[in-house]
Structure 1
């Protein structure tokens, strides 16, 4: 018996996303130009205390394909921003779990001492709590420019743990309580993988915040960021130059128009720059060692470009 049409999985046509210049149909592929480097993302490394079911960067306790970046390596990019007056306002950190990087506290201190704003993505579990005292010291000195984004994938414990693994809920909620009770600026990252509407998701998170006495507004899109689910195996339309008017958005609204990410590959002598947080492994998106080298047009030649950014309207910066 055949499956109902709505349950049939449509896998990506292998002809798609092959040529950075044209789509499988021969149309000119859309490109995005960096208009301003508003946010520089730093991948702190792909090691994580969790192994989530659908992690876009495949973080786990054993994945060290992207290794820990050092204080001096980050400082070199901060120096470049200051020397070349790039106008970057925010330095954002993702992993892996950033607080597993042994240099995370000095890196964060350097960023904030220089006057940048900082955004740290974390699961708020044991790695964060192990550095609670120095992190609290940083908050006391620089808290007006530090935001901690906690990954709570769903407002329901069981659904959250389907994605993040058993026994991942209680430590995350405990860490969230610690952050909010100590005056940190906190926002939440959720995932649209349960099939619910965004409105229903926000109502669910609002109920969670009430039950837990957490003073966050689930209806504020800056406080609760809900990301579209991504799976590069599934079919998605390619984005052509004509799509901007059809979709009702513009190149300037895409993440790679205002951000770049620094990564360090295992065995590499130095870090490199890629367009965004979603494309750390594909070599076609390696833009060079310096930020200056990364000021080039980026072809939207990956399923994540279409699904997450153009059609999903999402940005990791919130």
Structure 2
């Protein structure tokens, strides 16, 4: 069977991830308290210029389940936040949002060393904003704005299988432009995609970066982030309170201990705050309309909590 053939999903074991208080075995489910809000994410909208085969948020040119946030809405949350070190923008494709550049300017103009991170496919929605991005670089310098480019694999065949024919070439054009213009960049790929282990993936990306003069160290887990697969139908263990000691981990290491995400649902009067970037649709992870309301603990009651964060050790921030 070809490495490009998708794996058929397996159903979850009965009873798992049903009760936010206890697991299917009746054990107390792990929760994570907000230790301090360091990273505030904004989902700029689910509209995207491409449709991927396995997009966890189902972004596409037609999906506006999460509508565009406005610069005024983003500013209101930034005014409420205290002690942030980073503001992240994700989508959809963030550069499709007409207020993307004003939102970035607002973040970068605020006092202190607040950083801005944009997750982008680096294709035409971004390159159409080239003049505006260069103006931001010239106004604020290159250090506090990071563009994280999505490259599922280091070869065109695997990347295009996921994102559509020709998408690899366009993404590489955008990545090379960012590198030439001196922007801070990193890359997000998929761990084990194409049947390769992490070492092979990093070696492949190292060759790609060298070939195209991309100044990134593929061995650096921040410069090249390899994220575990996110399939909510695959059976994974539930995380209990006892797991922290068993796994040698601490709740403060989880994304929801230091971050929240703002979304705006189609038809809603105002935005809402959800627990993390991975779970924008599940109502149990919607925590309130304000950051203060969203400061409550989060029960790890979803497969993504287990596979991506606790067991996978991944985080969307740096």
If the length of structure 1 is used for normalisation, what is the TM-score?
A: 0.95
Is residue 308–residue 314 contact of structure 2 (8 Å, CA) maintained in 1?
yes
> In structure 1, what is the equivalent of residue 119 of structure 2?
121
Residue pairs, 1:41-120, within 5 angstroms: 41-81=41-81, 86-115=82-111, 116-120=114-118
What secondary structure sits across from 1:41 in the alignment? strand
Aligned twin of 1:144? 143
Q: Structure 1, residues 201-253: CA drift from partner, whole Å, max 9, x if none?
A: 11000000111121111111110011000100110100000111112211110
Q: Secondary structure at the match of 1:177?
A: helix
Structure 2: which 5+ residue stretches go unaligned? 1-6
In the TM superposition, residue 165 of structure 1 has moved relative to its aligned partner by: 1.1
Distance change (3 Å), C-alpha of 1:148 and 1:8: closer
8 Å CA contact 2:65–2:266 kept in 1: the answer is yes
Task: Give the deviation of 1:11 after TM superposition.
Answer: 2.0
Secondary structure, in 3 states, of the residue corresponding to 1:144?
coil
Q: Secondary structure at the match of 1:277?
A: coil
Measured on the aligned residues, the alpha-carbon RMSD in Å equals 1.1
C-alpha distance 200-137 of structure 1, shift in aligned 2 (>3 A) = same
Superposition deviation, residue 150 in structure 1: 0.3
Between the aligned partners of 1:191 and 1:141, the Cα distance in structure 2 is: 34
What is the number of equivalent residue pairs in this alignment? 308
Is the 2:9–2:231 contact (alpha carbons within 8 Å) kept by the matching residues of 1? Answer: no
How far did 1:312 drift?
A: 0.4
C-alpha separation in 2, matches of 1:32 and 1:140? 40
Contact 2:119–2:148, Cα closer than 8 Å, also in 1: yes
- Could you say which residue in structure 1 is the equivalent of 2:3? none
The corresponding residue for 2:28 is 28
Q: CA–CA distance in 2 between the matches of 1:125 and 1:236?
A: 34
* Cα deviations by residue, 1:76-114 (Å, 9 ceiling, x for unpaired): 001111xxxx20110000000000000001011011011
In 2, Cα distance between equivalents of 1:220 and 1:139: 24
- Report the secondary structure of 1:190's partner residue: strand
Partner of 1:176: 175
Answer yes or no: is 1:135 the counterpart of 2:136: no
